[in-house]
């Protein structure tokens, strides 16, 4: 499981979650509750705009913007990503663990002994399992904002949300509703996939 987070985050350009200033969990309309932004703020008009928003969301600690550039089909995966990191931050800290569990229960996430299995070797099955995990969460965006802010506050020193300002979208080959992207970070290339939804481009968890 410990290798899953870097994989997910490399797809989303950003690194991981950690310390922030007090403005990270408050502020503009993009960080407010469950409904999401207007059509013009969701995704991007081009792959480049979506990429730029991904970087800006990390620089500003704007979790609402971050959530709003993720393809709707992958919102559950985004929740899983932060749930996993939040869980890691509670290791050997019973008080944090209790607080984290209470946050989950508040939004309808309850750990079950017979919960869905997560097959890391099969992306399709992985997504099915994650979708099942969060099926009872009614306001997923609102949960994501609280979860991300909580993870940001409680992560260990040095495990922060590391934006890489040198990252650039080297290319985006559009094929209908899909764009295969190459991201260059200090000479190191990585693959990412964006997909269209309602005419706008969104980041996905696909390579």
For residue range 93-132, what is the model confidence (pLDDT) as tens digits?
A: 999 999 999 999 999 997 766 666 677 778 888 888 899 9
- Six-digit token pair at 108? 């309808």
- Quote the pTM value: 0.79
CA neighbor of 65 nearest in space, from 42, 98, 88: 42
Q: Vertex 12, ends 127 and 131: CA angle to 5°?
A: 20
Q: What is the DSSP letter of 115?
A: P
Pure H helices in 25-122: 47-59, 63-68, 75-89, 94-106
For residue range 63-97, what is the model confidence (pLDDT) as tens digits?
A: 999 999 999 999 999 999 889 888 888 888 999 99
Query: CA-to-CA distance for 14 and 9, rounded, in angstroms?
Result: 6
Query: CA-to-CA distance for 149 and 125, rounded, in angstroms?
Result: 28
3-state secondary structure (DSSP) of residue 169: strand
Give the pLDDT score at 36: 64
3-state secondary structure (DSSP) of residue 123: helix
3-state secondary structure (DSSP) of residue 197: strand
45: pLDDT strictly greater than 70: yes
């Amino acid at each position: 499981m410990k290798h899953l987070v870097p994989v997910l985050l490399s797809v989303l350009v950003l690194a991981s979650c950690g310390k922030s200033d007090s403005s990270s969990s408050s502020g503009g309309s993009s960080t407010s509750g469950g409904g999401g932004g207007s059509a013009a703020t969701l995704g991007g008009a081009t792959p480049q705009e979506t990429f730029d928003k991904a970087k800006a969301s990390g620089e500003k600690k704007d979790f609402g913007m971050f959530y709003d550039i993720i393809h709707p089909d992958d919102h559950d995966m985004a929740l899983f990503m932060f749930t996993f990191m939040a869980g890691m931050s509670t290791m050997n800290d019973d008080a944090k663990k209790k607080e984290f569990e209470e946050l989950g229960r508040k939004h309808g996430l309850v750990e079950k002994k017979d919960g869905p299995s997560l097959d890391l070797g099969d992306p399709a099955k992985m997504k099915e399992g994650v979708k099942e995990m969060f099926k009872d969460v009614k306001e997923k965006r609102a949960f994501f904002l609280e979860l991300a802010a909580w993870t940001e506050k409680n992560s260990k020193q040095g495990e922060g949300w590391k934006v890489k300002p040198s990252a650039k979208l080297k290319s985006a080959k559009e094929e209908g509703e899909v764009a295969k992207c190459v991201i260059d970070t200090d000479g190191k290339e990585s693959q990412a996939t964006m997909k269209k939804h309602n005419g706008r481009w969104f980041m996905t968890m696909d390579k």
